[in-house]
Copies of this chain bind each other. A is one copy, B any other.
Amino acid sequence: MKENLTQPIQDYLKHIYALSEAGTPATTTDLAARLGVAPASVTGMIQRLAGLQPPLVTYRKHQGALLTPAGKRAALEVIRHHRLLETYLVTMLGFSWDEVHEEACRLEHVISETFEERIASALGNPTHDPHGDPIPSAALEMPTDESTPLLGLRPPHSAVIMRVQATDPPFLRHLNNLGLIPGARVQALAFSPFDQNLQVRVNEGEAQIIGAAISAKIYVEEKG
């Protein structure tokens, strides 16, 4: 019951959570790609996780993996660590938002509950990290967000960026240069159905065109 999960196991759970959030099981290959590991290794690990007492995942051959309640709790604990750390690194230690993912990935496995509490309260118990990702509460409740992909915004609507789902540092720096960061207001000026390009104005600035690869990863809310 009081379990000390290894770092690899915590990583598996974190990614199973992300991939199965929509309800569909996380597949072996998707997990392998995310974890940077061979598919066969994933099969082996999933079988082990399903055999633990208590089991952390449910698993049926060729169907993929889903988290059990215990597995979900462990995953949310790691995700809370990760997102609190990212927030702390940016707001208290002057990291930029493209640097924090890697650092948080290493720290998330080793900080104590005390450390978690201290940084959470130093930050005023934030509900979202610098990328806009929701931070599970201390009770491991995930905040529910209403945001939708920027890709779906149509002229002449405007909206506020709530979330940027990306971890690649060069990509994040690029978005930062374009002003596409949480809090920014974007107005849709034109949409091209062929290539799914969106022409937008960001924060009263110059008009610019952004491709589908970008606008699908940015989540906005129409408000104000």
| B110 pairs with A93, CB closer than 8 A | no
Secondary structure call for the A interface: helix
A118 at the interface (CB under 8 A from B): yes
| A93 pairs with B118, CB closer than 8 A | yes
| B107 pairs with A110, CB closer than 8 A | yes
Docked Cα-Cα span, A103 to B110, in Å, equals 8
Q: A93-B122, A95-B118, A118-B94 are in contact. Are A103 and B107 (CB under 8 A)?
A: no
A112 at the interface (CB under 8 A from B): yes
A106 at the interface (CB under 8 A from B): yes
A114-143 residues at the B interface, CB under 8 angstroms: 114-115, 118-119, 122
| A119 pairs with B107, CB closer than 8 A | no
Docked Cα-Cα span, A111 to B110, in Å, equals 11
Proximity bits, A87-121, B CB within 8 Å = 1, else 0: 00100111100010011001101111011001100
Proximity bits, A189-201, B CB within 8 Å = 1, else 0: 0000000000000
